[in-house]
Amino acid sequence: MQKIIFEDEKVHRRKTDSDHANYLRIIGAGLPRTGTSSLKAALEQLGFGPCHHMAELFDKPERSILFSRALDGHEIDFHELMKGYGSTVDAPTQIFYKEIHKAYPKAKIILTVRDTGEKWFESMTNSIGPTATDISYYIAVYPIRFLRLQCIVAKKIFKKWMIEYGEIGPRIHDLYNARRNSRQQQLNEINEYHYLPLSIMLKALFEVSMDNN
């Protein structure tokens, strides 16, 4: 089970998406494999799209180059980089959620988490892990430019985690979320949103009105 923690109780949707063209309204600070794909689908359904996700790097490999530079410590214009998106979740933007929030200070921050670090790491190991840790995978995808670039980004993310947390394991999830929580004053945690479709829970929490707002 994944959980969602909201920075604020209310996020309001404007009358039309065009009112907020090129303005990011939702920033996902949760690690990959914490329900970010479901959150992306729900946000887009509710009008907070398009939503940026790691999958964007498949279709837009030039973004991999920019995020790779950011992971190397180069200065990036995040306001320009996220222009055209209504929300963002998952890596690599999760790594830079504070920088993105500085560029879009009115955006609301959502933190998605798993039940335990062990469950998170198991999910990572069975999905994204080989992209960053398996040299044979990198050799296999090297001729395919967009996969090679995405693999480089994944490797740099894992390297960053290793430097910051000293290991690639379950503790990353627990330490990361503990640090996020310690910096927030008011967080609302959804423990059992899985009993209802995620989009319904988000709609209730955001108090979205499709007609009046």
Query: Is 213 inside any structural domain?
Result: no
Weakest mean pLDDT among 24-28, 132-136, 151-155: 132-136
How does residue 194 score in pLDDT terms, banded at 50, 70 and 90? very low
Domains of the chain: total: 1
Query: Is 212 inside any structural domain?
Result: no
> What CATH number is associated with residue 57?
3.40.50.300
**Enclosing domain of residue 92:** 2-206
Which amino acid does the sequence have at 184? Q
pLDDT at 133 > cutoff 90: no
Q: Tokens representing 12?
A: 């309001």
Tell me how far apart the alpha carbons of residues 168 and 150 are, in angstroms, rounded to a whole number.
19
pLDDT at 212 > cutoff 50: no
Contact 3, 38 (CB under 8 A): no
Mean pLDDT of the 15-27 span: 62
Query: Is 138 inside any structural domain?
Result: yes
Query: Is 211 inside any structural domain?
Result: no
3-state secondary structure of 57: helix
Query: Is 154 inside any structural domain?
Result: yes
Query: Is 150 inside any structural domain?
Result: yes
Is the N-terminal amide bond of 50 cis, ω within 30° of 0? yes
pLDDT (tens digit, 9 = 90+) per residue, 63-72?
999 999 999 9
Mean pLDDT of the 56-82 span: 93
Query: Is 95 inside any structural domain?
Result: yes
